[in-house]
Copies of this chain bind each other. A is one copy, B any other.
Amino acid sequence: MSLVQLEYFVAIAEEGNIGRAARRLHVSQPPLSRQLRSLEEELGAELFKRTARGVQLLPHGKTFLEHARRVLAEVEHAKSCLGGADAQRGKA
């Protein structure tokens, strides 16, 4: 599991659509599909139900989403507590 996987997962969850999440993240769609699948395999749980209109969070996915957000928030906090200058630049 990696931090980018978590970022991708959160974006997909928020968009409900892998392609749209890809545009938001400025990457193309296939990498997102792959990272998501790889994450699901590592966790041993399906996070989304794939439909013809996009993806939909499953119960496991909802649970994991909260954790993922907390991890990412903690990371941001860690970054912002150090360099000051760098962190501020990053925020903009």
Q: Show the binding face of A for B, using Cβ within 8 Å.
A: 1-4, 43-45, 60, 63-64, 67-68, 70-71, 74-75, 77-79, 81-83, 85-86
**Which 8 residue pairs of A and B lie closest in terms of their CB atoms, listed nearest first?**
A67-B78, A44-B83, A44-B86, A71-B74, A45-B82, A43-B82, A45-B83, A70-B74
Q: How far is the CA of A68 from the CA of B3 in the complex (A)?
A: 13
Tell me, rounded to whole Å, the shortest Cβ–Cβ distance linking A90 to chain B.
10
Q: Is the interface of A mostly helix, strand, loop or mixed?
A: helix
Contact B3 A2 (CB under 8 A): yes
* Chain B residues within 8 Å of A77, by CB: 67
- A68 contacts which chain B residues (CB < 8 A)? 78
Since A1-B75, A43-B82 are in contact, a sample of 11 more A-B pairs with Cβ atoms closer than 8 Å, ordered by chain A residue number, is: A2-B2, A2-B4, A44-B82, A44-B86, A45-B82, A63-B82, A67-B74, A67-B78, A67-B81, A71-B71, A71-B78
